[in-house]
Amino acid sequence: MSIALIVLAAGKGTRMQSDLPKVLHKIAHAPMLWYAMRAGSVLEPEHSIVVAGHGADLVEASAKDFDPEAQVVLQTEQLGTAHAVAQAKPALDGFEGDALVLYGDTPFIRQETLEAMAEARAQNDVVVLGFEAADPGRYGRLVTDGEELMRIVEFKDASPQERNITLCNSGVIAAKSDVLFDLIDAVENNNASGEYYLTDIVAIARSRGLSASVVRCDEAETLGVNSRAELATAESLFQTRARAELVENGVSLLAPDSVYLSWDTVIGRDAEVEQNVVFGPDVTVESGARIRAFSHLEGAHVSRGAVVGPYARLRPGAELAEDTHVGNFVEIKNAQLHQGAKANHLTYIGDAEIGEKTNIGAGTITCNYDGVFKHKTTIGKQAFIGSNTMLVAPVTIGNDAMTASGSVVTSDVPDGAMALARAKQVNKEGFATKLFAMLRAKKAKKQAQND
């Protein structure tokens, strides 16, 4: 059965105290909206529809960054969840598959949970995702009769007996698309909030002889984010889960609580990550690599056997081949280091290609930017770049070539050649002694004037 995702993302999020739409606040470097869209993608939806409201242009841009085929529809008035879902109806005109309603501010619904809902939908007209709450609070309650779901009652409208129910509503609902919108058309707003509740469709479905059931999930999956404090809690929950998953899959984290991961971080088994390492978006670390303490990686690929850090920074476009070394206070940006290449100390390599087994000396800088354009530095195999070399791009250093320490290299260096590009040293006898004497006398005179 084909499926359509409907992701509700129209809320302003007043408690966030932000001009940014609530669903665009980030967890582990990704907007919350993307988590719902990613979870739903496991079902291979035929349509992905995002219902936007506040900051709709920003929400649309973000949705399409994740999925260029996503459709964004507008909810101009905030009249409740049923009203929000109804805005997707024109976009699904003629669609005969199932519809699944998700929430852009509920980022932790697992893909396996949505698969279970899809399976349950094959046996029931309406399927609701529920959870047993440790503290039900103001959640909507699921009223059941055995395995059958009879209705959902909002806390404001619940009787004292209904408020004692601990099986609570997540808001996630699946039904055949035409059935969903037909049920929504029958929803009224005669309730304590004067809103059109999506939850009312269960009782309406039952009154029409349709079946309804509950798929249960862990309460943590249903965590909604409505404030900065809840956003911080969600970040902490993500990091805890992601670290545990890495360890379970064979990654060594020396101090797990000090490692911060991105939502898309990939690290292979037998890799080792030391303390205080931060992963930005789009990082892959292959099996057997080692990321040493206090390093920051973003948009980088680290191959098997490579060592990064301590105190290294890999920026977008950094590509490290097998057995490369990037050491302390080395920054790599948009550059490829081939197998066995090393840059161990105090170096910047940007817009460059470094050949196999080449050694980059301490203090080397690829001068890649002329104030307008970026230029490339190419260094061949088994070259040796002396300490404190400035490579003024565009420039090519050949295979087995070398540069003398302190050189400013502005021209290509042929294979096997050594570039020596520094001013001739001149020693002026006695000049330092005279200069220091003059400066000390000047300082003493200034102090005397101030006393």
Residues 232-263 pLDDT 10s: 999 999 999 999 999 999 999 999 999 999 99
Mean pLDDT over 104-122 rounds to: 95
Measured between alpha carbons, how far is 216 from 168 in angstroms, rounded to an integer?
10
Antiparallel, parallel or unpaired: β 3-9 and 47-52: parallel
Which whole number is the average pLDDT over 263-285?
98
Q: Which DSSP letter does residue 384 get?
A: E
What is the distance between the alpha carbons of residues 237 and 108, in angstroms, rounded to a whole number?
9
Tens-digit pLDDT profile for residues 79-110: 999 999 999 999 999 999 999 999 999 999 99
Residues written for the chain: 451
Q: What was the pLDDT predicted at 28?
A: 98
Classify strands 284-285 and 266-267 as parallel, antiparallel or unpaired.
Answer: parallel
In the predicted structure, residue 272 carries a pLDDT above the cut 80: yes
Domains of the chain from N-terminus onward: 3-222 (3.90.550.10), 228-419 (2.160.10.10)
C-alpha–C-alpha distance, residues 354 and 285, integer Å: 19
Model confidence at 136, pLDDT cuts 50, 70, 90, reads confident
| Per-residue confidence band for 425, with pLDDT thresholds at 50, 70 and 90 | confident
Could you read off the pLDDT of 38-67 as tens digits, one per residue? 999 999 999 999 999 999 999 999 999 999
**DSSP letters spanning 289-310:** -EE-TT-EE-SEEE-TT-EE-S
Q: Which residue has better confidence, 32 or 451?
A: 32
Burial letters 153-168, b for 16+ CB under 10 A, else e: bbbeebeeebeebebb
Query: Which of the four pLDDT bands, split at 50, 70 and 90, describes residue 194?
Result: confident
pLDDT of residue 11: 86
Is a pLDDT exceeding 80 seen at residue 328?
Answer: yes
Tell me the per-residue pLDDT of 291-308, one tens digit each, with 9 for 90 and over: 999 999 999 999 999 999
The answer for residues whose C-beta is within 8 angstroms of residue 345's C-beta and 6 or more apart is: 327, 328, 329, 330, 361, 362, 363
Distance of CA 164 to the CA centre of its chain: 39
With 80 as the cut, is the pLDDT of residue 434 above it? Answer: yes
End-to-end C-alpha distance for the chain, whole angstroms: 92
pLDDT for 423? 87
The answer to whether 421 and 408 are in contact (CB under 8 A) is yes
CA distance 36 to 171: 13
Q: Residue 172 has which token pair?
A: 């996630």
Distance (Å, rounded) from C-alpha 117 to C-alpha 175? 10
Is 345 exposed, middle or buried, given 0-12, 13-18 or 19+ CB atoms closer than 10 A?
middle
Cis preceding-peptide flag for 256 (omega within 30 of 0): no
Residue 192, pLDDT > 80, answer no
Q: How many CB atoms lie within 10 A of CB 2?
A: 13
pLDDT of the residue at 191:
80
Say which residue the tokens 């055995």 belong to.
146
Share of the chain above pLDDT 90, in %: 92
Do residues 61 and 70 touch, judged by C-beta distance below 8 A? no
Q: Which residues are catalytic?
A: 345
In this predicted model, what pLDDT tens digit does every residue of 346-382 receive, in sequence order? 999 999 999 999 999 999 999 999 999 999 999 999 9
Span 396-402, average pLDDT: 98
Instruction: Give the pLDDT confidence score for residue 146 in this predicted structure.
Output: 86
pLDDT at position 154, please? 87
Report pTM.
0.89
Instruction: Tell me the DSSP string of 385-417.
Output: E-TT-EEESSEEE-TT-EE-TT-EE-S-B-TT-
Question: Of 80, 130, 84, which Cα lies nearest the Cα of 109?
Answer: 130
- Write down the mean pLDDT value for the chain: 95
Question: Pick from 359, 284, 295: which is nearest to 328 by CA?
Answer: 295
- For residue range 138-186, list pLDDT tens digits in order: 899 999 998 899 999 988 888 999 999 999 999 999 999 999 999 999 9
Both tokens of residue 415?
A: 């294979």
